[in-house]
Amino acid sequence: MKAYRVSGIAPFGSMRQEFSLDLPADDAADAEHRTYSIMGSRHKANRRSIDIQSVSEIDPRISTEPRIMDFFREQIAAAGGQIAAVSEEE
């Protein structure tokens, strides 16, 4: 499995907003399918109302998404840790 970043526009309540979602998937088509599933489950949006604009493979070390960090835990540790700067809450 690889890490993918899916970006697009979806309805959130009465407005349409941009979204970006990092998730593990077998290929780009699987990443799209998982995105439709997650967005439909969380926000009750049907597939026709979700507009996916891009699906790109990413390095798991640049993502701060907990789903990616958990799935690729050993790979990230073996490569020397996260690349993304961890921001602290104030």
Confidence of residue 89 (pLDDT cuts 50, 70, 90): low
For the segment 37-55, what is each residue's pLDDT rounded down to a tens digit?
999 999 888 999 999 999 9
Confidence of residue 22 (pLDDT cuts 50, 70, 90): very high
Residue 35, both tokens: 């995105």
For 56-84, what is the mean pLDDT? 89
Give pLDDT, residue 13: 83
CA distances from 67 to 4, 13, 22, 60 (A): 11, 24, 8, 10
The CATH code of the domain at 2-57 is: 3.10.20.10
pTM of the model: 0.84
CA distances from 85 to 40, 61, 64, 78, 82 (A): 31, 10, 9, 18, 8
Residue 70, both tokens: 């958990």
Higher pLDDT, 22 or 13: 22
Per-domain boundaries in the chain: 2-57
